[in-house]
A and B are shown apart, each in its own frame.
Chain A
């Protein structure tokens, strides 16, 4: 059997696909963070909590109402986005004129509240969500065995990321959005309802996080704390990619997931710190991030 670094090739490829799956979640989450930061100037600390709520919405929907995976994929992001929009209307919009640090602190508080409520309701232990029947089983590629669900997660999230990129960079709505990012008062003067766009953008960013949560539900344990350490990794990903860069968020998300998976093969002890180490190196070498302009 072929081995690399003394590890059988199929095991390496298995870890790499798992890394790519994680990278897909990083990409979806950092994309949402970047979109929100671009327009609102707020770093959304609650992003991990919205990811967790998305997974729980799917879990609760299945347990109590029998809503299947495919509907959850649509409904859960919608419901979590509604919650996000309420938070934007009630709290965040009052902070736009202030130092962006307040937005970070507020969303940190909201994340604590969401995690506390879910922990009180469901306990700290993880719940498992079944893989939908259509996506069970494996592809046998000859040199490795690829679980269908993993392939699905990567394809789905890359598609969604690509669609988001297209929406922002290539459509009229996206042009308006970018214009509002550059100069909100001017866009407002053209008769465009900027507060509505801001609200919608926050909702969309939150929906992306919730979608990642639903996609993650069958591969990770659904638990109230599943987002709290993930959001820190995603912050590091965003710092590496360069804040506010759409392409940077997607590419660095997927790449770092792969690197993390690769580290698990050659030096498992370092797998959960490798992203932070890379962040430190990137900051020393290029303080604005790989795709950032400054």
Chain B
């Protein structure tokens, strides 16, 4: 327990001090957005064992909606974010309602196919700017009080939202609702026979996960000032799976660690090795599945916290 508190204190100080230590705040903010995205994804994969292969649909569509409202219709920043999240939530409700009718491998294939549908809609719709995407999205300000133009301010804003969402997800997982999800994960037929409306629980957690993914997408669009097709693409869906898997699915910190590693790797490699990035990402997938199924944080927990509550 003491070890875990120390880890969180260290991470907290590091996160607060990062901009002063010369780390590029835009990159840090982007990293937090993807970490939030991965935490939302982990809520499904880690705690409900639902592999959504199309989570970019919520991330990307929310990014588009926020970007479009803020830049074309001059909406306020917060209103734009809320509208983006609302769209992601609605999309999660529709896709989730169809997908939770099947389990396991079918669920993965259905979410993948429906996310591809969203991708094609974004490709052809007018408001998304087609192949170019939306550029120059203004960051605006929070309720007219705090302008977000400075990179460091934007970073602290994203940090605050991230911490709130991180705590929110912890709260969900440890609530009675979270325990029902765990029961479904471990033995679905048994949960049904105990009288739980399993499909309804799954749908609720799916919508929650899609909404948080949407929030992450909106913040990403504001941080980087653009939203593009790559945000809704299958590649981004694959990235968030890898982040969660590599960091450790079913652990709270795993997706954050995974997001940090994958994003840093991609930024570092894309300028140096070109197409080999996808080879390396693919190879990490293979290694994770073959010999490293608990992920980094999962392995650490198993080694150092054996016998204690996890």
Contact = CB atoms under 8 A, between A and B. Distances in A.
B192 to A, nearest CB: 15
B102 A94 contact: no
Interface string B15-48: 0000000000000000000000000000000000
B interface: dominant SS: helix
Range for the number of chain A residues in contact with chain B: 35 or more
A279 B282 contact: no
A236 B113 CA distance: 6
Nearest to A98: B293
Given A91-B290, A276-B117, A280-B114, A104 B278 contact: no
Given A280-B98, A283-B98, A105 B241 contact: yes
B278 A287 contact: no
B105 A101 contact: yes
Contacts, number: 122
A99 B185 CA distance: 12
Interface of B: 49, 51, 53, 98, 101-102, 104-106, 108-110, 112-114, 116-117, 120-121, 124, 234, 238, 241, 245, 274-286, 288-290, 293
Contact of B116 (A115, A232, A239): A232
Interface string A81-123: 0000000000100110011111011101111111111011000
Nearest to A238: B109
Contacts of A68: none
Nearest to A121: B275
A232 B282 contact: no
A83 B111 CA distance: 29
Interface in A112-168: 112-117, 119-120
Contact of B282 (A104, A111, A229): A111
20 contacts: A91-B286, A99-B49, A101-B105, A106-B289, A109-B283, A110-B286, A111-B282, A112-B238, A112-B282, A113-B286, A115-B278, A116-B278, A116-B282, A235-B113, A236-B116, A239-B113, A280-B117, A283-B101, A283-B102, A284-B98
